């Protein structure tokens, strides 16, 4: 086999004012919607009310589930499942960031299987089947790609274990990217989620699951991000918002097939043990040391790919060699500085004495992503990279 590529099973609407289409789309999939959202932003900005109106105008009954927080937990998901089961929902609609969409995906699993004990599904001890309710995703951030991926990332609040799992049954049935919604992101969220999208495509591009289909999308997304991430942070305009939303969508399609690498395997662990650290922020601290590690220890093919990344990010690369490959790291550091993201985990609150736990959890929960890294790290490599990221 040369390669394998998975097409998302998602109908995507992309543009301004697309939220107005929600009701028409939703009524093809259900009659009673569980409308899931985050803590405050979507209600404050009026989009939650617009979503509810659109659903009701199309004849659907709506039950709300508000309050999904960043790095969503099993407890939050269970609350949503209880609400959904009590009100007899047959469809889940998520409007919010990646956390809201991820939580909603697992609510759809739990309600569909009439089972609120959800951790065994996430650990793949119970099977996610086609009983899962249909999901409609409306992202309010541009970074996780969750609206087109088959992943969800959930934290067990008791142990701090944060882990991703995939199932084709949690591909959103429909996704609505409304540029008016993502244009409301404040600068810090724009920076953190924009960096997440960049991390996705850099990782999918060097992953040992990379393939010719995602390579094209990855490179194009890197160019879009190089041209627009700093701009969207400093002085956002409709064009830069559109470009980032598009790059986010490309990136989601890429990680579904080509997966992520060590950066996500180790970064998810950080946000599980330290739930106040945003996903994109954790990735930003780990990305440069892992890029250096991969460039130093990998073969010609990966070195050449890091040269491509450097080029896509605007660096001048005349020859393909290890030295020029490190220009990709310089480009990333330059972008990080320009978007005001923190560079070290210590500044984010991580202490040195937690490195053992972070390493143990990464080796247990992050192996899916770590196994796709172009270089297979030993335990001591992971410890050293956490130390370098502090």
* Contact criterion met (CB below 8 Å) for 26 and 33: yes
Q: Per-residue contact track with ligand NZQ, 266 to 295, x per CB under 6 A? A: --x----------xx---------------
* Residue list 146-205, contact with Mn ion (CB under 5 A): 196
Q: Which is nearer to ligand NZQ, 23 or 145 (CB)?
A: 145
| Residue 143 near ligand NZQ by CB under 6 A | yes
18, 54, 132, 193: which one binds ligand NZQ (CB under 6 A)? 193
- At 80 the three-state DSSP class reads helix
144, 214, 258, 362: which one binds ligand NZQ (CB under 6 A)? 144
Q: Which is nearer to Mn ion, 62 or 266 (CB)?
A: 266
* Contact criterion met (CB below 8 Å) for 139 and 147: yes
Which of these ranges, 90-98, 217-225, 332-340, 355-363, lies near ligand NZQ under the rule CB under 6 A?
A: 90-98
151, 171, 205, 274: which one binds ligand NZQ (CB under 6 A)? 151
| Residue 10 near ligand NZQ by CB under 6 A | no
Question: Among all residues, whose Cβ is closest to ligand NZQ?
Answer: 97
Could you list the beta-strand ranges (E) of the chain: 11-15, 32-38, 61-68, 91-96, 135-139, 151-156, 161-166, 174-178
Which of these ranges, 118-126, 185-193, 210-218, 374-382, lies near ligand NZQ under the rule CB under 6 A?
A: 185-193
Q: Which is nearer to Mn ion, 91 or 369 (CB)?
A: 369
Pick one of ligand NZQ, Mn ion, none as the site partner of residue 315 (Cβ within 5 to 8 A by kind).
Answer: none
- Reading the block at residue 356, the tokens are 């053992």
- Reading the block at residue 351, the tokens are 């202490």
| Residue 102 near Mn ion by CB under 5 A | no
Report, in Å, the least distance between residue 42 CB and ligand NZQ: 6
Report, in Å, the least distance between residue 193 CB and Mn ion: 9
Q: Name the residue among 56, 133, 60, 136 with its Cα closest to residue 96.
A: 136
| H helix intervals, 274-351 | 279-297, 300-312, 322-325, 327-338
**How many Cα neighbours within 13 Å face the side chain of 1?**
5
- The DSSP string of 346-386 is GGGT--GGGHHHHHHHHHHHSHHHHTTSSS---HHHHHHHH
- Reading the block at residue 320, the tokens are 């393909």
- Reading the block at residue 122, the tokens are 């996430």
Rounded CA gap, 233 and 338, in Å? 8
Q: Which is nearer to ligand NZQ, 151 or 386 (CB)?
A: 151
Q: Name the residue among 306, 284, 164 with its Cα closest to residue 222.
A: 306
Rounded CA gap, 180 and 156, in Å? 33
Q: Which is nearer to Mn ion, 35 or 217 (CB)?
A: 217
Q: Name the residue among 94, 137, 84, 92 with its Cα closest to residue 115.
A: 84
Bridge partners (DSSP) of residue 154 are 163
| Residue 140 near ligand NZQ by CB under 6 A | yes
Pick one of ligand NZQ, Mn ion, none as the site partner of residue 389 (Cβ within 5 to 8 A by kind).
Answer: none
Pick one of Mn ion, ligand NZQ, none as the site partner of residue 152 (Cβ within 5 to 8 A by kind).
Answer: ligand NZQ
| Residue 98 near ligand NZQ by CB under 6 A | yes
Pick one of Mn ion, ligand NZQ, none as the site partner of residue 324 (Cβ within 5 to 8 A by kind).
Answer: none
Is the four-CA dihedral 258, 261, 265, 270 of positive or negative sign?
negative
* Residue list 27-86, contact with ligand NZQ (CB under 6 A): 38-42, 70-71
* Contact criterion met (CB below 8 Å) for 33 and 93: yes
Residues that bind ligand NZQ (rule: CB under 6 A) add up to a total of 34
| Residue 257 near ligand NZQ by CB under 6 A | no
Q: Which is nearer to Mn ion, 161 or 196 (CB)?
A: 196
| Residue 248 near Mn ion by CB under 5 A | no
Which residues sit at the interface with ligand NZQ, rule CB under 6 A?
Answer: 38-42, 70-71, 96-100, 102, 140-141, 143-146, 149, 151-153, 181, 184-186, 189, 193, 196, 264, 268, 279-280
Q: Which residues bind Mn ion (CB under 5 A)?
A: 196
């Amino acid at each position: 086999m040369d390669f394998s590529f998975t097409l998302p099973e998602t109908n995507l609407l992309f543009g301004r004012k697309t939220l107005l289409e929600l009701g028409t789309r939703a009524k093809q999939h259900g009659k009673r919607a569980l409308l899931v959202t985050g803590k405050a932003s979507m209600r404050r900005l009026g989009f939650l009310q617009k979503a509810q109106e659109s659903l009701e105008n199309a004849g659907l009954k709506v039950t709300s589930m508000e309050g999904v927080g960043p790095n969503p937990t099993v407890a939050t998901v269970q609350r949503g499942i209880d609400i959904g089961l009590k009100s007899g929902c047959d469809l889940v609609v998520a409007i919010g960031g990646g956390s809201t969409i991820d939580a909603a995906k697992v609510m759809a699993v739990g309600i569909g299987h009439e089972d609120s004990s959800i951790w065994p599904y996430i650990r793949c001890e119970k099977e996610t089947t086609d009983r899962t309710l249909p999901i409609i995703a409306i992202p309010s951030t541009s970074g996780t790609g969750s609206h087109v991926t088959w992943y969800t990332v959930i934290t067990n609040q008791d142990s701090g274990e944060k882990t991703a799992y995939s199932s084709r049954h949690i591909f959103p049935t429909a996704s609505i990217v409304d540029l008016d919604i993502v244009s409301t992101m404040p600068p810090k969220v724009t920076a953190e989620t924009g960096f997440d999208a960049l991390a996705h495509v850099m990782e999918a591009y060097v992953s040992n699951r990379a393939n010719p289909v995602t390579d094209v999308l990855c490179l194009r997304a890197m160019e879009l991000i190089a041209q627009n991430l700093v701009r969207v942070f400093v002085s956002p305009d409709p064009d830069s918002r559109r470009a980032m939303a598009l790059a986010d969508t490309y990136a989601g399609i890429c990680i579904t097939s080509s997966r992520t690498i060590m950066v996500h395997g180790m970064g998810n662990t950080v946000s599980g043990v330290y739930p106040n650290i945003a996903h994109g922020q954790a990735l930003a601290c780990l990305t440069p040391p892992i890029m250096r590690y991969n460039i130093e220890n990998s073969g010609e093919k990966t070195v050449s790919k890091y040269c491509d990344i450097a080029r896509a990010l605007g660096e001048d690369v005349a020859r393909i060699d290890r030295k020029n490959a490190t220009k990709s790291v310089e480009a990333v550091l330059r972008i990080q500085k320009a978007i005001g993201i923190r560079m070290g985990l210590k500044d984010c609150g991580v202490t040195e004495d937690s490195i053992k736990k972070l390493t143990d959890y990464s080796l247990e929960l992050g192996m899916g992503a770590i196994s796709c890294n172009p270089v297979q790290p030993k335990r001591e490599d992971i410890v050293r990279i956490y130390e370098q990221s502090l």
